[in-house]
Amino acid sequence: MLMLKKISIYWIILAALLLTGAVPLGVVSYRAIQTTRTEVKRAQQDQLIARADAHAATIDEQFRTFESATRFAAAQAEQLLVQDDLDPNEVQARLARYQRDSNNVYGLDSWYENEYDQSAGDRLSNVFVNQNTELTPQIAFDIVATEALDLAFNSILDSDIGTQWIYLTTAEGMMRLFPWHANLNYPVDWEPQTISFYTVANQVNDPRREPVWTAPYYDFAGAGLMVTNSVPIYDGGVLRAVMSHDLRIDVMTEQVLGFKVGDKGFAFLLDNEGHIIAHRDYNPEQFAQDAPLGEEQFILLAQEDPNMESIVETMLTEGGGVRDYIDKDGKKWLVVFTEIPTTDWHFAMMQPYAEIVEPADKIIDQVITGLVALVVFVLMVSIWLARRITRPVLQLSKTAKEIERSVDAETAEAIEPTLRQLSNISSAREITNLASVFEQMVLALQKRMNQLDSVYAMGQTITAQVDFDQTVQAVLAAVGNVVGFDAAEVTVASGEDLIVEAWRGQPDFNDTTGRKYRIGRGPTGMIAATKTPVFMSVLGGEEDMKRTLGYAAAGTGEFLAKTTKVVINSFLGIPLLIGDRLVGTLTLVHHEAGYFSEDDKRQLNKLAAQASIAIDNAIQVRQRESALKAQIRELRVEIDRAKVSEQVAEITTTDYFQQIRANAARMRERVYTRDRKIGDEPDHEIEKGEDFIERGAAMDTDQEPPDATE
């Protein structure tokens, strides 16, 4: 204790700071070094798995977007092919541009070369009908009817989702290809309806009538190796045509190989049978350099690299997982893989183990270096803090001594400077800055809370309704508070149909309440079938809309506002789902191009969850009300029967009824006594008459009782 009294307070405080700062820091750092290697290896593996899942999700989203575009084009083509309002004279007039070339191939080549203003660009499609196919009335109709597809094709190409070609092939052999490509590049007797992009979607290969993907093949038009997404188009049970959408392999290769996996690692993509779509060491483009046009490329990774055979088998059977791989040079790799749900393809990322362990060693070195630097920093901070803490303590001690000495000898003016110095020991600048930052944070949180309150209030407005009509109208009102529109409608799923239950819009738009759409047909039907939003920022002008969507044809239009008074340029549709169960759809249109945005779609997706529940609850309430009304009707019948029984009971308890029963009993007794005296059987006819009189008296409540003398 004597030694502590002799040690300066500065050194005591410094030692305390070092004991509470540097020593625990050293202990924690030592433990961290002991566990770093194991934890970093595990973290590297988890990170690689997470990155593989994230990249696979990105690719899957692109495939879904690509498929949605194909579905949209197929829906437009289906409407155009089934329409029946084209005038034969108009068909012949519009066929004037088409003719057979020198090879007897039917198309637009001659018109394009001689009459078309090519400076306007090639944003139009060409038609191919080979030299051996007769131009039947059906093919002529298909050619003219599908001219309007150019608008949808342009919109898909402008969406920049990797489209190389998009084309329609009919069962009769007519093909409409976009963008423009001359027919001279095809064999004169080429039959597109026999090629894989068509046959992959026929009744045999695609009985579920879902979008399907081809194996890689070399493009007939010379655009290189590609895969195709095809959607069948049926007219009843007959395959009418196939809409095909081409994606170049080099686009997928560039994207997949663009995913960075350490310094030497890489990613690769296989189809559902183990064929290479994209791989650093096996480029399908190199294998296809001398391949015939249209030939499929089946490059199996397991055959090219036998060491990968077991991993590929696991990928195809289990979908996702982690495996070790040793290459031909004996180098050990970590391979993580997962499935692309939309296409059933398989995405994998692989990285050398040396790279996975290397960060752990680097981290250990960095921890040691950082620990030394941190200890030095803590020492400096401790010295600074010790001085800062010691100074006011010494000042307080000095002031106390001065006050003690000046109690009797000095006045308050003598110690005033010292007291003023004590009042300025600390600064409020740091506290002011902290208060300012905290105030900004509070304001930001308050703003966010206000936004959440608005969404919550909107949800209450919707879900508070139990009446079905009020509920669907409340949904449209809430949508109007989030996104502006010219017209909007809410449909409810009923079997294979969608029924418009609510509509709201400008006066120029027709009220669509009560209209039915077929699930799987048209844009609204495709929203219900795919259960995914449809967002088109640019649709085109009035005349193009009529040709593309069957806009002016009775019973064929699928858009909300079927009128020739307005122009619709933007379309946004959201499915209403509870889990995976379809409740209905919400669709909006606007006359301005590019009016709706991705943010609008996200906002409506948030609202759609509450709207789906509210509408479903209202439907159930309506059904319960119908059942309750039926029960009330049955209850009324039972009440009426009870009243009748009660009236009968009242009659049978009257004195008049009891008198009749007594008279009848006496009459039966007299007859019975008479018959016994004369030896005859009782007269049953008299008994029957008495019973009849007794029953009649019970029911005839309005008749006056007879006079006793009678």
pLDDT tens by residue, 42-58:
888 888 999 999 999 99
Looking at 340-411, list the stretches that DSSP marks H as alpha helix, in order from N- to C-terminal side: 353-405
| 426 confidence band (pLDDT: 50, 70, 90) | very low
**Element containing residue 263 per DSSP (H, E):** none
Residue closest to 172 by CA, chosen among 102, 79, 81: 81
Q: Can the peptide bond before residue 179 be classed as cis, meaning omega within 30 degrees of 0?
A: yes
Structure confidence by residue, pLDDT tens digits, 360-417:
667 777 777 777 777 777 777 777 777 767 766 566 556 655 655 554 444 444 445 5
pLDDT of residue 3: 47
Q: What is the end-to-end Cα distance of the chain in Å, rounded? A: 138
Predicted confidence at residue 613, as pLDDT, reads 87
pLDDT category at 190 given cuts 50, 70, 90 is very high
* Predicted pLDDT at 97: 92
What pLDDT does residue 434 have? Answer: 39
Give residue-wise pLDDT tens across range 541-558: 445 444 434 333 333 334
How far apart are the C-alpha atoms of 675 and 541, rounded to whole Å? Answer: 108
More confident residue, 450 or 165: 165
> What is the reported pLDDT for 177?
95
Tens-place pLDDT, residues 478-537: 888 888 899 999 999 988 999 999 999 888 788 889 999 999 888 888 899 998 898 886
Does the domain formed by 465-625 have CATH 3.40.50.300?
no
Whether the per-residue pLDDT at 564 is higher than 50: the answer is no
Per-residue tokens: 288: 């296809």
pLDDT tier, 653 (very low <50, low <70, confident <90, very high otherwise): confident
Checking if the pLDDT of 139 tops 90, the result is yes
Question: Which residue in 583, 525, 532, 590 sits closest to 558, CA to CA?
Answer: 525
Residues 297, 215: contact at Cβ < 8 Å? yes
Helix (H) or strand (E) holding 4: helix 2-6
pTM of the model: 0.48
In this predicted structure, what is the pLDDT of residue 125?
A: 94
Every domain of the chain and the residues it spans: 465-625, 655-699
What is the three-class DSSP state of 293?
Answer: coil
Over residues 307-327, mean pLDDT: 91
684 pLDDT tier (thresholds 50, 70, 90): low
Alpha-carbon distances of 410 from 398, 404, 415, rounded to whole Å: 16, 10, 8
Q: What order do you get walking across the sheet with 276-278 strand by strand?
A: 276-278, 266-270, 345-352, 332-340, 321-326
Ranking 134-143, 235-244, 449-458 by mean pLDDT, the lowest is: 449-458
**Above 50 in pLDDT, residue 16?**
yes
Name the residue with higher pLDDT: 636 or 139: 139
Confidence of residue 695 (pLDDT cuts 50, 70, 90): low
